Amino acid sequence: MTFQSTILILPGLGNSGPQHWQSIWEKQFNFIRVEQADWETPICADWIETVNKEVSKHNPADVILVGHSLACTTIAYWAQKFNIKIKGALLVAPSDTEADTYPAGTTGFKPVPLIKLPFRSITVASTNDYYVTESRTKLFADSWGSELISIGDAGHINAASGFGNWDAGLQILKQLDQ
């Protein structure tokens, strides 16, 4: 499988470890990881500035952002502030930063922006994600103008949920790459 777009990997809180599908994809396809300065106690303004710096190094029309968890909220805040039309975004397991289940220690990530994104997006969600309810995921996807794909009971769609080399996710990403 080959990709014609510039794919930027945006991990969520804590970064994505070596067994996470984001890390596997990064290695396998030479995607670019957006390295945040603070993975454990992030500040939203810092994260979106880092995303913007990386996007500005490329032709935005060729950029696809691949966000997991908190990175989905980051992408929404980035879009709200910079309003740059990129090729698209794959938003996997968006976490609800307003929920009681969300870990403490993040700054500026709530409320989750409920804005129409200025680019095509696909949101991939699980029906039993600890960090977000199905109804909130639907609200996020609808607000963002994002196509919503539910993959059933898949936890937080991470390595702990058994998602290492996630081939079905690559097929979804390929839809944005066309």
Task: Give the C-alpha separation, 67 to 109, whole Å.
Answer: 15
Looking up residue 113, the CATH number of its domain turns out to be 3.40.50.1820
Q: Interior CA angle at 148 toward 178 and 39, to 5°?
A: 85
On whether residue 63 sits in a domain, the answer given is yes
Task: Give the C-alpha separation, 37 to 41, whole Å.
Answer: 10
| C-alpha torsion 10→15→18→21, nearest 10 | -40
Residue type, 173: L
On whether residue 116 sits in a domain, the answer given is yes
> What proportion of the chain, given as a percentage, has pLDDT over 90?
94
On whether residue 137 sits in a domain, the answer given is yes
Q: pLDDT averaged over the chain? A: 97
Q: What is the mean pLDDT of residues 106-134?
A: 97
The DSSP code for 11 is: -
Q: Which domain, by its residues, includes 141?
A: 6-177
**Is the pTM of the predicted complex or chain greater than 0.95?**
yes
The total of structural domains in the chain comes to: 1
As given in the structure block, the two tokens for residue 177 are 């790459």
On whether residue 1 sits in a domain, the answer given is no
Query: Is pLDDT at 98 greater than 90 in this prediction?
Result: yes
Q: What pLDDT does 70 receive?
A: 98
Classify residue 130 by burial, with Cβ atoms within 10 Å: 0-12, 13-18, 19+.
middle
Query: Is pLDDT at 164 greater than 90 in this prediction?
Result: no
Neighbours of 157 (CB within 10 A): 22
pLDDT tens sequence across 25-41 = 999 999 999 999 999 99
Q: What pLDDT does 106 receive?
A: 96
Beta strands in 11-68 (DSSP E): 32-33, 63-68
Q: What pLDDT does 163 receive?
A: 86
Which pLDDT band holds residue 92 (cuts at 50, 70, 90)? very high
Neighbours of 38 (CB within 10 A): 13
